[in-house]
Amino acid sequence: MDGENRIILNVGGFRFETYRTTLKKIPATRLSRLTEALANYDPVLNEFFFDRHPGVFAQILNYYRTGKLHYPTNVCGPLFEEELEFWGLDANQVEPCCWMTYTVHRDTQTTLAILDKLDIETDKPSQEEVARRFGYEEAYHKGRLNWWQRTKPKIWSLFDEPYSSNSAKIVGLVSVFFICVSILSFCLKTHPNLRVPVIRNVTIDCNWTTSWTLDKTRTEPHQAFFFVELMCNVWFTLEFTVRFVVCPNKCIFARSLVNIIDLVATLSFYTDILLQQELAHHVDNADILEFFSIIRILRLFKLTRHSPGLKILVHTFKASAKELTLLVFFLVLGIVVFASLVYYAERLQANPDNNFKSIPEGLWWAIVTMTTVGYGDMAPKTYVGMFVGALCALAGVLTIALPVPVIVSNFSMFYSHTQARSKLPKKRRSVLPVEQIRRKQQQPNRNDGGGGGGGGGLQRRMNAFKHNPPAMLLKDAMAVTFGAGK
């Protein structure tokens, strides 16, 4: 009677045996609805065959036995989810001890999705992919691409994809060169030795006599810097115009932060020229006008188009936004608390050299101390104030050190996945889908005594018996064989 209650499951060539009542513990699943009328039931071997992963099924069968679903560490997460979906089980039933290991693949899939948006692939795309990107897919398949449709993607790759060809690398190097020259010129023109004084001839009338004197009112950069910046901005204007004309989607191009910075920085040069010509003679301190040219320093963000590492760094900070927000919150909390404590601590004793006249002044001391900068312009003089300062320094070190490993881990994760993706083959071999097995309805042959046809199938079952011969089933199979031979 015990044998009638047992059931044999052949999963991927591995045979599992359990009780039918065990499979009924979790209703509405594939194993709970097994019947002998299914196509994967073998009446000779008296077993159900499933072409699935046997390692995962061992944990699934153990889930039916114990009610606890554990994650096998030797399989990938998506494979485990596919197997659970096939057997009709819920992935959320994984035990807490295996949950962190199981959900690692979800973080990996999120990281890969972010890397797809970064567009840091260095391989040249195919012509079909380029046509799909520019919306010419239908014309490409029909072979009706005109001259502009064939030339536009090439110009776009030349100016916006530095690794697409050798010519694009040269254009990228030229762009980086002009960016570096522009930034270097912006910094050097503020050096006193590279500035020219503006001297005015001032007429002085005194005691019915007239005299002249030279007055140095201000300094301005050497004229050579103007021509250097003019040459750089001519290139930036040409590059931005060409990229805008040949871009695949002008709306996406206009919403890009790097393109907005590039446009504002380029326009600031021309507006600076107009303002200096119109207002320089009417403003006493014309150096104020140069302050607005600081927007050009933001051109450094254009280097992200030429450096995958900078893109990864930017998205690392985006992925660590929660940790950075938590860091800022604790810093602000500590700054306010310790600024208030040091203000009242310095007033507990006689202190003629008290630097903390108010709590707002203590805020500056607290932020400098918590960030371990320590300018030394303000320091507590009393013992209680020194104790508060020591606590402030220790709290600052701990507060800043806690989220740093998370940020480093995110950067390492992005960078390692980027390196792995660069080594993977771009084209993979396609696998055809598996057809569902349908049970054939065969009419019994009268000449063979009802033994059934298909000697090849019987031979296959006999070979299986040689490797795993169950005693009772082997005896029945041999009887069927000799009966068919007669």
Q: Do 273 and 328 fall into the same domain?
A: no
Residue 137 structure tokens: 């897919």
The pLDDT tens digits of the residues spanning 12-49 come to: 999 999 998 999 999 889 999 888 888 888 888 889 99
pLDDT, tens only, 377-398? 888 988 998 999 999 999 999 9
- The structure tokens listed for 192 are 């006193």
In the structure encoding, which two tokens stand for residue 267, read together? 């326009």
pLDDT for residue 481 is more than 90: no
Torsion (CA) 86, 91, 96, 100 in degrees, nearest 10: 100
Closest Cα to residue 9, out of 32, 27, 1, 80? 32
Q: Are residues 293 and 172 in the same domain?
A: yes
Q: Does residue 173 lie within any of the structural domains?
A: yes
The stretch 350-359 carries a mean pLDDT of: 84
Q: Domain for residue 132, yes or no?
A: no
> Given a cut of 70, is residue 482 above it in pLDDT?
no
Indicate the residue type of 181.
V
The answer, yes or no, to whether residue 256 has pLDDT greater than 90, is: no
Q: Which residues fall within 8 angstroms of residue 179, CB to CB, at 6 or more apart?
A: 299, 300, 302, 303
| Distances 115 to 84, 107, 185, 244 between C-alpha atoms, Å | 28, 12, 35, 24
413-429 per-residue burial string, b: 16 or more CB within 10 A, e: under 16:
bbeebbeeeeeeeeeee
- Per residue in 310-324, pLDDT (tens digit) is 778 887 888 788 888
Looking at 386, 402, 418, which one is the last position of a domain?
402
CA nearest neighbour of 468 among 15, 4, 5, 107: 15
User: What DSSP assignment string belongs to 284-310?
Assistant: S-THHHHHGGGGGGGGGGGGGGT-HHH
- What's the CATH number where 354 sits? 1.10.287.70
Does the pLDDT at position 118 exceed 80?
Answer: no
- Residue that terminates a domain, selected from 252, 273, 303: 303
Picking from 244, 265, 269, the residue whose alpha carbon sits closest to that of residue 255 is 244
Residue 355 lies in a domain: yes
One domain, residues 282 and 335: no
Q: How confident is residue 295, by pLDDT bands cut at 50, 70 and 90? A: confident
Closest CA to 391 of 408, 414, 361, 366: 366
* 210 and 276 share one domain: yes
Same domain for 357 and 270: no
Q: Which pLDDT score is estimated for 448? A: 45
Encode burial over 188-209: b for 16+ CB neighbours within 10 A, e otherwise: ebeeeeebeeeeeeeeeeeeee
Q: Are residues 186 and 238 in the same domain?
A: yes
Same domain, 332 and 383: yes
Quote the domain boundaries for residue 18: 2-102
The pLDDT tens digits of the residues spanning 408-430 come to: 888 888 777 777 776 666 665 66
How confident is the model at residue 68, as a pLDDT? 92
* Mean local confidence (pLDDT), 358-369: 91
Give the whole-angstrom CA distance, residue 290 versus residue 276: 9
71-85, 103-117, 218-232, 419-433: segment of lowest average pLDDT: 419-433
Residue 379 lies in a domain: yes
Position 289 scores a pLDDT of 61
Residues 173-212 pLDDT 10s? 999 999 999 999 988 988 888 888 877 666 676 666 666 6
Where a domain ends, among 71, 102, 133? Answer: 102
The reply to whether 123 falls in a domain is no
Residue 445 has pLDDT above 70, yes or no: no
Query: Given this model, what pLDDT does residue 268 score?
Result: 84
CA distance 348 to 433: 81
78 occurs within a structural domain: yes
The highest-confidence range among 48-62, 96-110, 153-167, 296-310, by mean pLDDT, is 48-62
Q: Same structural domain for residues 264 and 194?
A: yes
By the 8 A CB rule, do 122 and 165 touch?
no
Closest CA to 379 of 364, 399, 397, 394: 364
Does this model's pTM top 0.75? My answer is no
The pLDDT assigned to 60 comes to 93
DSSP 367: H
pLDDT averaged over every residue in the chain: 79
Q: Specify the 3-state DSSP secondary structure of 119.
A: coil
55: in domain: yes
334, 278: one domain? no
In this structure, the answer to whether residues 297 and 197 fall within a common structural domain is: yes
Percent of the chain surpassing pLDDT 70: 76
Lowest-confidence segment of 154-163, 357-366, 407-416, 460-469 by average pLDDT: 460-469
Amino acid identity of residue 35, one-letter, is: T
Residue 450 located in a structural domain: yes
Number of alpha carbons in the 13 Å side-chain half-sphere of residue 17: 9
pLDDT of residue 214: 64
Q: Name the nearest CA neighbour of 124 among 153, 144, 104.
A: 153
Tell whether the model's pLDDT for residue 454 goes beyond 50.
no
Q: Residues 47-81, buried b or exposed e (16+ Cβ, 10 A)?
A: bbbbebbebbbebbbebbeeeebbbbeeeebeebb
Judging by DSSP bridges, how do beta strands 195-206 and 6-11 pair with one another? unpaired
Whether residue 370 sits in one domain with residue 278? no
Question: Does one domain contain both 197 and 171?
Answer: yes
Quote the number of domains for the chain. 4
